[in-house]
Amino acid sequence: MNQSASGSTQSARGLIVFAFALAFAIYVAWLLRSVLLLLYVSALFAVILTPVVHATSGLHIGRWHPFQGAAAVFFLLLLVAGALAAFGFLAFPPVIRDLNALNGEMPTRLPPLLARLRQIPLVDRLNSSEIIDWIQGSVNQTAASLLTSLTGWAHALVQILAGFVLTLYFILEGHSAYRWFLSFLPLEPRHRLDKTLQRAAVRMGKWLVGQLSLMLILGTASTILYLSLGVRYAYGLGVLTGLLNIVPVLGVLVSIVLAVLVAAIDSWSRVLGVFLFFAIWMQIENSWLIPRIMKHRVDLPALSIFVALLLGTALGGIPGAMVSIPTAVLVAVLIDEYFVRKDPAETANVHPVKGKVQE
C-alpha cells in the first residue's frame, strides 16, 4: 500500500516537473522565435536546393568531375553572381540615364509646376513663413522615416545574409546534422521517420521545379508584354516580375506596382495594358497553371495551399510565405504517415501469381 502511494507520488512529481520543463521550453522558444524561424527557413531551403547541388556535382568532362562538394556550391554561387551582374549591367544604365536627364530638365520644369501650385485654392493665401515651416516639418518627418527605414533595411539585410550563410552550411554539413538528430531515436522509429522525411524532401524538390516553371512563364510573358507596349526598362522589369513571383501573392502585387509606376511615366494606356495583363495572368495562374503545375507536383489541394500561404505570411512575413508551401508538404507527409488510419487491405502487399492474387 505504501509502495503504491509512493509510486503515485513520484509519478505526480514527474508530471509536474515535465509540465514546468515543457512550459519553460515553450517560453524560451518564444523568446528565440526569430532565430528559430531563421534556422528553419535556412534548413528548408537547404533541403530544397540540395538536389540542385547534387545534380551539379554529377556534371563531368570525361572521367573528370570538376564540381564535387563545396566546389558545386561555389560554382552555383558564381552563376548567381554572374546573373546578378548581367542583370545590373542591362537594367541600371537606362534608369541612371533617365534620372540624369530628369535632373537636367528640373530647372526648366520646376517654375511651371510652382505656378500651377499657386493656382490651387487656398495655396495662394499661405505666406512664405507657413510654407517654409511646412516644408521643414515635412523634411524632418521624411528624414526620421528614412532613418527608421534604413535601420529596418539594415536589419533585414543582416537577416538575409545570415540565412544565406546558414543555408550554405546546411547544404554542406546538413547530412551530418540530420543523422545526429535521428540518432536520438530508437532504431525502428528512426528508419520510419527517415523514410518519411525522404519522401517529403522529394515532394519539396518537385515544388521547386514547379515554382521555377511559374517564374519562368511569368517572366517571359511579362517581358513580351512590356516590349510590345513600349514600357521602359522592359527587360529589367520582366526579370524582376519573374523573380518576385517566388513570394506568393505579395510578389505579384509588388510587380504590379513597379510596372504601373514605370508605365505611368509615358502614358495611361500603357498602365491600362499592364493592369489588363496582370488581371488575365492571375486568372490563368489560379485556374489553370497552379492546378496543373503545383498541385500535381506537390499533391496538395488548392484550399490547403491557400491556407498555408495565409498562415505562413501571418507567422513569418515574407520568409514565412516563401516556405509556406514546402512546410505544408512536410506537414502533409508527416500526418499521412503517423495520424491517418489506412485500410489494411490497401496497404497490404499483393503479388499476382498465375492469375491469382496472393497476399
pLDDT tens sequence across 315-359: 777 777 788 888 888 888 889 888 887 665 555 554 444 444 443
pLDDT of residue 276: 92
CA distance linking residue 202 with residue 205, whole number of Å: 5
With beta carbons less than 8 A apart as the criterion, state whether 171 and 46 touch: yes
Residue at 235 is within a domain: yes
For residue 220, name the pLDDT band (cuts at 50, 70, 90): very high
With beta carbons less than 8 A apart as the criterion, state whether 266 and 230 touch: yes
User: Residue 212 is part of which domain span?
Assistant: 186-341
For residue 135, name the pLDDT band (cuts at 50, 70, 90): low
Residue at 46 is within a domain: no
Residue at 12 is within a domain: no
How confident is the prediction for the chain on average, in pLDDT?
77
Global confidence as pTM: 0.69
Residue at 248 is within a domain: yes
For residues 193-228, one letter each, b for 16 or more C-beta atoms within 10 angstroms of the residue's C-beta and e for the rest, the string is beebbebbbebbbbbbebbeebbebbbebbbebbee
Residue at 2 is within a domain: no
Q: Report phi then psi at 245, rounded to 5.
A: -70, -10
Number of domains in the chain: 1
Residue at 275 is within a domain: yes
4: number of CA atoms within 13 Å, CB side? 1
81: alpha, beta or left? (left if phi > 0; alpha if psi -120 to 50) = alpha
Share of the chain above pLDDT 90, in %: 6
Q: How far is CA 58 from the centre of its chain?
A: 27
Quick one: cell of 98?
533617365
Residue at 63 is within a domain: no
